[in-house]
Amino acid sequence: MSFAGKVWRLLVGIKDGLVLLFMLLFFALLFAILSARPSPGMVRDGALLLELDGYVVEERSIVDPFEALLSQQAPVNEYAVSDLVHAIDAAASDDRIKAVALDLSRFLGGGQVHMQEVGEALQRVRDAGKPVSTFAFAYSDDAIHLASHASEVWVDPLGGALVAGPGGAFLFYGELLEKLDVNARVYRVGSSKAATEPYTRNSFSDEARENIGGLYAALWEEWQANVKKARPSANLDLATRDPVAWVQAANGDIATAALEAGLVDKLGDRTQWGERMAELAGEDSWSNDPGAFASTGLKPYLADIGRDNDGKAIGIITIAGEVVDGDAGPGTAGGDRIAELLDNALDDDLAALVVRIDTPGGSMTANEEIRRAILRHKANDIPIAISMANIAASAGYSIATTGDRIFAQPETITGSIGVFAVIPTFEDAAARIGINADGIRTTPLSGQPDLIDGFSPEVDAILQASVEDTYRDFLKQVSDARGIPAEELDRIAQGRVWDGGTARQLELVDQFGGLDTALAWAAKEAGLADGDWHAKRLGSAEPAYDSLIRQILTDAAQSPQAQGDMFAMLANQRLNGLGRVASDIKRLTSVQGVQAYCLECPRETRAIEPRELQGWLGWLASFATR
């Protein structure tokens, strides 16, 4: 028995060893698959094919692989505007690239500044004598903005193009909260600080309506000017002044109406477009599929062209998404994370620093962490340039005041110099269901703040005083940085938002220009000539598995950006807008400090999961039915 036991233990040990070996091999293989990167060898003569099946953003968010795989929810694809511009610019002078092809069938849009930056890059390709062609089932404003820079615009005969213009409905919860007996306590400074109005009113105040209306009118004028300049044949008046008559004149055929208005050039399906691309860029020798043409995708092309690393480094730190406390991001501007990236770069011997901002604002404490980290670089006596993208408002503008020079585009939304805090209390709701409070206090602040029994007058007064003090600090930051007297600044602040052109007139912005202009200025200030420097993005590397996880889940699940006709496009836009309900309620119910946040600034929507939406609606319904 002793011998048999030893044999048995040996067999068990061998079995355990083999299991361990196979597990190690499995995880090594899994890691290798997830770490696989596009091969530069995949680049071939033909077209640069950009299949933009998602959003164009300033900074891509990172997918948590375990959370994503467990949830089996396909994340929305994101494309960094810097990657797109870099690839398109390289294609303009690359002899292997005969044309640029944009498939916008599943395109979800992006900010107006980003659309203009990508569009200008496409124009540089055309100026180099190469064709640019786009295809989509349905074109909305952002897709039209890009397509206006193409030499050929194709649309499926079952689709079309509609121009909506900026603006739309904002959601207000004042009456709902009143019915639920929820008291939204608002502490604010700024007559136009509209970020709190959804929780206290049923419509905009006159001041907020005037300010937002002026902003959107300016953005609309810029959009039209950009599209008309790039595509003089487009009859925007025909498509926008009386869209019903325009479509009815084409017997309800929106694709034909788009053709007659000059918004598109050709009616044809995906196969016909591919056959045209084969004429422009060459036949696909690897595939016999209908409509195939010789092409290289974005990722392998980026891997092939790489980035210039010659000369001294000029750092670029990206502040994209809402400014929040903690390590959040990329895609969200976590104050601790960004401050750590900046501090880690203090020893990198940067020649200059460019701060790229695309945020509606957020936490003032996180904002201060970022400001202090930038100022530590400024103490090293290097030039600091601020490059504003789509939005640099509220806390975003506070961060911008750290720079030596502020660059923006005419379409950039900025300003919103004002602060607020919103805290819900439930004393009326508690009383309605029979919960009452009584207590003993030794000071006016004993037991305060109390969300169930409500706040005492002393707490209300202290919180309002704190917000007012933060506003004065905000004003002083701007006044000191811009050389505008505090009294004069207070008159143009008050939470108002401005387009880039107006902001420049008000001296909140120094110069028009994008990221390249800001980099060139920083290099000149650092005494560097062309070729003596390169741009270095701080913390821009993303895990290699990110793109593969997105692809696996998009293939395995119903993609939120599925292709469709005009009805599908419009329905998808409205469905994505439901995500704002969840974010607005989360903003009210989550624990947050003093905020400098811009409600009126357009926010990137996301495809909200049905179970998430049902959870929020169920939460509201549970209160409403009590």
* DSSP output for 132-178: EEEEEEEE-HHHHHHHTT-SEEEEEEEEEE----S-------HHHHH
pLDDT reported for residue 410:
96
Spell out the domain ranges in the chain.
40-163+231-305
What single-letter DSSP state applies at residue 532?
Answer: S
pLDDT reported for residue 67:
62
pLDDT per position as a tens digit, 445-471 = 888 888 888 888 899 999 899 988 989
pLDDT per position as a tens digit, 503-555 = 999 999 999 999 999 999 999 999 999 889 999 999 866 655 555 555 555 55
Q: Residue 363 pLDDT > 60, yes or no?
A: yes
The active-site residue, picked from 394, 479, 547, 559, is 394
Listed residue (502, 512, 504, 415) closest to 218, CA to CA: 502
Q: Give the lowest-confidence range in 78-82, 407-411, 558-562.
A: 558-562
C-alpha dist (Å) from residue 581 to 170, 491, 574: 10, 33, 12
The active-site residue, picked from 98, 105, 130, 193, is 193
Strand arrangement, sheet containing 77-80:
77-80, 54-57, 109-110
Per-residue HEC secondary structure of 62-98 comes to CCCHHHHHHHCCCCCEEEEHHHHHHHHHHHHHCCCEE
pLDDT per position as a tens digit, 38-60 = 555 578 899 999 999 999 999 99
Q: Is there a catalytic annotation at residue 193?
A: yes
Listed residue (318, 381, 406) closest to 355, CA to CA: 318
Q: Is there a catalytic annotation at residue 524?
A: no
Rounded Cα distance between 115 and 145, Å, is 6
Tokens read off for 402? 């750290």
Rounded Cα distance between 271 and 429, Å, is 60
3-state helix, strand, coil in the chain (%, to 5): 45, 20, 35
Question: Packing angle between helix 610-624 and helix 579-589, nearest 10 degrees?
Answer: 50
pLDDT reported for residue 622:
43
How many residues would you count in the chain? Answer: 626
pLDDT (mean) for 356-376: 95
C-alpha dist (Å) from residue 17 to 21, 391, 410, 434: 6, 57, 66, 64
Using pLDDT thresholds of 50, 70 and 90, give the confidence band for residue 35: very low
Relative to beta strand 183-189, strand 419-425 is antiparallel
Which residue in this structure is represented by tokens 């494309």?
79
| Residues 136, 159 contacting (CB under 8 angstroms) | yes
Using pLDDT thresholds of 50, 70 and 90, give the confidence band for residue 334: very high
pLDDT (mean) for 8-32: 66
C-alpha dist (Å) from residue 348 to 308, 318, 535: 17, 17, 13
Using pLDDT thresholds of 50, 70 and 90, give the confidence band for residue 493: confident
What are the beta bridge partners of residue 534? Answer: 313
Rounded Cα distance between 532 and 534, Å, is 7
What burial class does residue 575 get, using C-beta atoms within 10 Å of its C-beta: 0-12 exposed, 13-18 middle, 19+ buried? middle
Rounded Cα distance between 413 and 393, Å, is 7
pLDDT (mean) for 5-34: 65
Does residue 331 come out as left (phi exceeding 0), alpha (psi in the -120 to 50 range) or beta? left
∠ CA(470), CA(475), CA(476), 5° rounding?
95
pLDDT (mean) for 117-145: 97
What percent of the chain has pLDDT above 70?
Answer: 79
DSSP H or E run through 2: helix 2-34
∠ CA(200), CA(203), CA(205), 5° rounding?
85
DSSP H or E run through 486: helix 486-492
Q: Residue 317 pLDDT > 50, yes or no?
A: yes
CA 203 to chain centre: 26
pLDDT (mean) for 601-617: 48
Which residue in this structure is represented by tokens 């100026």?
127
Q: Give the lowest-confidence range in 166-170, 299-303, 393-397, 471-475.
A: 166-170
Q: Residue 556 pLDDT > 70, yes or no?
A: no
Rounded Cα distance between 448 and 446, Å, is 5
CA neighbours closer than 13 Å in the CB half-sphere of residue 623:
16
If one counts every other C-beta atom within 10 angstroms of the C-beta of residue 243, the result is 16
pLDDT reported for residue 549:
56
Per-residue HEC secondary structure of 295-313 comes to EEEHHHHHHHHCCCCCCEE
SS3 46: strand
pLDDT reported for residue 561:
46
Using pLDDT thresholds of 50, 70 and 90, give the confidence band for residue 625: very low
pLDDT reported for residue 477:
93
SS3 56: strand
Rounded Cα distance between 85 and 40, Å, is 18
What are the beta bridge partners of residue 357? Answer: 319, 388
Q: Give the lowest-confidence range in 4-8, 122-126, 235-239.
A: 4-8
Compute the mean pLDDT over every residue in the chain, rounded to the nearest whole number: 85
Rounded Cα distance between 98 and 363, Å, is 47
Using pLDDT thresholds of 50, 70 and 90, give the confidence band for residue 72: low
What single-letter DSSP state applies at residue 199?
Answer: G
List alpha helices for 250-348, DSSP H.
254-260, 270-281, 298-305, 335-344
Q: Residue 614 pLDDT > 50, yes or no?
A: no
pLDDT (mean) for 405-416: 95
Tokens read off for 76? 């929305």
pLDDT (mean) for 398-412: 96
Torsion angles phi and psi, residue 604, rounded to 5: -70, 125
pLDDT per position as a tens digit, 251-281 = 999 999 999 999 999 999 999 999 999 999 9
If one counts every other C-beta atom within 10 angstroms of the C-beta of residue 403, the result is 24
Using pLDDT thresholds of 50, 70 and 90, give the confidence band for residue 81: very high
Using pLDDT thresholds of 50, 70 and 90, give the confidence band for residue 557: very low
CATH topology classification for 40-163+231-305:
2-enoyl-CoA Hydratase; Chain A, domain 1 (3.90.226)
